[in-house]
């Protein structure tokens, strides 16, 4: 099969063209069959490509000068979808010129542009932002939604479960990824009505390629006992950032503890391989690449401050999702779930 190209918004993000191009080149070493469409200022992209001769042959440049600002409102950015590097990268996916777009730019703008250009898949009401988080287990856990939808109904949550499971099958290789709904307790009657309805639909659903294991509390997300954590965008964003902040808090404390005395400093130096391992495990660059699931095409958001290695991971996510035909998998799973049943459950939810 001919693999679709990956469009890279070379201008988005805080680190500039060099980092985006180097990241794509790094990713290409792991996926050497992929070709790229690099969108942005031609002369700067060409200069960046000088350091990556192999990448040059695999890349086409789509020139543009306009860039979406980091603080720009999505509605404003939308108006410049046809002139900005972000808009053109997403547009290439819409036109079939590329299978996936990767951008390190403004998340809200990327979401708005992607929704408008690519539309949601049949059977999906709203796309969701999904990311991989480190765990104590063998695989990363997928959490979604992380902020695309502030409020979600039961039907949205069930669709997120199906999409997250399709993604997790690619990541973990499990036939039936273990899915849980994020809640403030594990008892059946805990949490909001939306959560209880979503749980009851997932419990009753048969033929889904996932194992629904009920609710999970936020302190268990990283334990490695669950493959997909489903939540609304508000709670998901709170949980994600709380985890990031707490991890940074602990490592900051650790650093100051280790430098508090000469003895500690010495101990720190001796055990540096251990602390390096910790740093590697917690480095957000190693988990970079959040995916907008549920669109007719793959869109990956790289962290704005990601390094070249981080960008490479985001491009890697795009490549793996294309190789494994994520979009087609989700379509098949949705057919399995049965549009009718899901719709009925959603309607009941709204009536209640």
Residues pairing with 230 in the sheet: 144, 181
CB nearer to a second copy: pick between 270 and 352: 270
Q: Is residue 248 close enough to count as binding a second copy by CB under 8 A?
A: yes
Strand duo 128-133 + 290-293: pairing: antiparallel
Q: Is residue 250 close enough to count as binding a second copy by CB under 8 A?
A: yes
CB atoms within 10 A of CB 84: 31
**Closest separation between CB of residue 232 and a second copy, Å?**
10
Query: Pick from 58, 116, 243, 309: which binds a second copy (CB under 8 A)?
Result: 243
- Choose among 185, 27, 123: nearest CA to 340: 123
Query: Pick from 106, 201, 209, 222: which binds a second copy (CB under 8 A)?
Result: 222
What's CA 283's distance to the chain center, in Å? 16
Q: Is residue 217 close enough to count as binding a second copy by CB under 8 A?
A: yes
CB nearer to a second copy: pick between 123 and 134: 134
Q: Is residue 58 close enough to count as binding a second copy by CB under 8 A?
A: no
Q: Tell me which DSSP letter residue 52 carries.
A: -
CA 23/CA 171 separation, integer angstroms: 21
CB nearer to a second copy: pick between 122 and 245: 245
CB atoms within 10 A of CB 159: 29
Q: Which of residues 161-200 bind a second copy (CB under 8 A)?
A: 182, 184, 191-192
Q: Is residue 203 close enough to count as binding a second copy by CB under 8 A?
A: no
Query: Pick from 25, 221, 299, 306: which binds a second copy (CB under 8 A)?
Result: 221
**Closest separation between CB of residue 277 and a second copy, Å?**
5
Q: Is residue 69 close enough to count as binding a second copy by CB under 8 A?
A: no
Residue partners of 44: CB distance under 8 A and separation at least 6: 10, 17
**Closest separation between CB of residue 299 and a second copy, Å?**
20
CA 21/CA 45 separation, integer angstroms: 7
Vertex 203: Cα angle to 351 and 295 (nearest 5): 75
Query: Pick from 219, 340, 351, 352: which binds a second copy (CB under 8 A)?
Result: 219
Q: Which of residues 266-325 bind a second copy (CB under 8 A)?
A: 266-275, 277-278, 281-282
**Closest separation between CB of residue 141 and a second copy, Å?**
11
CA 89/CA 60 separation, integer angstroms: 12
CA 309/CA 79 separation, integer angstroms: 32
CB atoms within 10 A of CB 282: 15
Query: Pick from 247, 320, 325, 331: which binds a second copy (CB under 8 A)?
Result: 247
Using CB under 8 A as the criterion, what x/- string covers residues 17-46 for binding a second copy? Answer: ------------------------------
Query: Pick from 1, 151, 173, 175: which binds a second copy (CB under 8 A)?
Result: 151
By the 10 Å C-beta count (0-12 exposed, 13-18 middle, 19+ buried), 193 is classed as: exposed
- The answer to whether the CB of 50 falls within 8 A of the CB of 339 is no
List residues binding a second copy (CB under 8 A): 134-136, 147, 150-151, 182, 184, 191-192, 217-223, 233-235, 237-254, 257-258, 260-261, 263-264, 266-275, 277-278, 281-282
């Amino acid at each position: 099969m001919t693999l679709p190209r990956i469009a890279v918004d070379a201008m988005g993000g805080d680190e500039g063209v060099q980092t985006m191009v180097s990241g794509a080149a790094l990713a290409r070493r792991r996926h050497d069959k992929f070709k790229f469409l690099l969108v942005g200022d031609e002369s700067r992209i060409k200069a960046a490509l000088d350091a990556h001769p192999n990448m040059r042959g695999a890349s086409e440049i789509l020139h543009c000068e306009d860039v979406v600002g980091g603080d720009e409102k999505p509605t404003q950015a939308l108006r410049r979808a046809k002139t900005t590097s972000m808009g053109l990268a997403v547009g290439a996916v819409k036109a079939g010129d590329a299978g996936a777009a990767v951008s390190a730019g403004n998340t809200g703008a990327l979401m708005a542009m992607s929704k408008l250009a690519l539309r949601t898949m049949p059977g999906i009401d709203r796309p969701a932002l999904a990311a991989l988080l480190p765990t104590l287990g063998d695989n990363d856990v997928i959490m979604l939604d992380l902020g695309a939808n502030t409020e979600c109904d039961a039907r949205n949550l069930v669709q997120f479960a199906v999409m997250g499971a399709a993604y997790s099958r690619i990541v973990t290789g499990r036939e039936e990824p273990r899915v849980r709904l994020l809640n403030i307790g594990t008892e059946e009657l805990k949490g909001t009505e939306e959560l209880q309805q979503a749980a009851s639909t997932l419990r009753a659903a048969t033929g889904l390629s996932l194992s629904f294991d009920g609710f999970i509390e936020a302190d268990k997300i990283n334990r490695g006992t669950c493959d997909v954590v489903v939540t609304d965008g508000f709670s998901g964003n709170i949980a994600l950032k709380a985890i990031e902040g707490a991890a940074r808090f602990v490592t900051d404390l650790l650093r100051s503890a280790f430098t508090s005395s000469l003895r500690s400093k010495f101990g720190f130096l001796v055990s540096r391989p251990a602390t390096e391992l910790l740093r590697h495990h917690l480095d957000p660059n190693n988990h970079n690449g959040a995916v907008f699931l549920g669109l007719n095409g793959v869109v990956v958001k790289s962290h704005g401050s990601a390094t070249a290695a981080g960008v490479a991971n985001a491009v890697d996510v795009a490549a793996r999702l294309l190789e494994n035909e994520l979009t087609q998998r989700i379509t098949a799973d949705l057919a399995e779930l049965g549009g009718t049943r899901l719709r009925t459950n959603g309607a009941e939810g709204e009536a209640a």
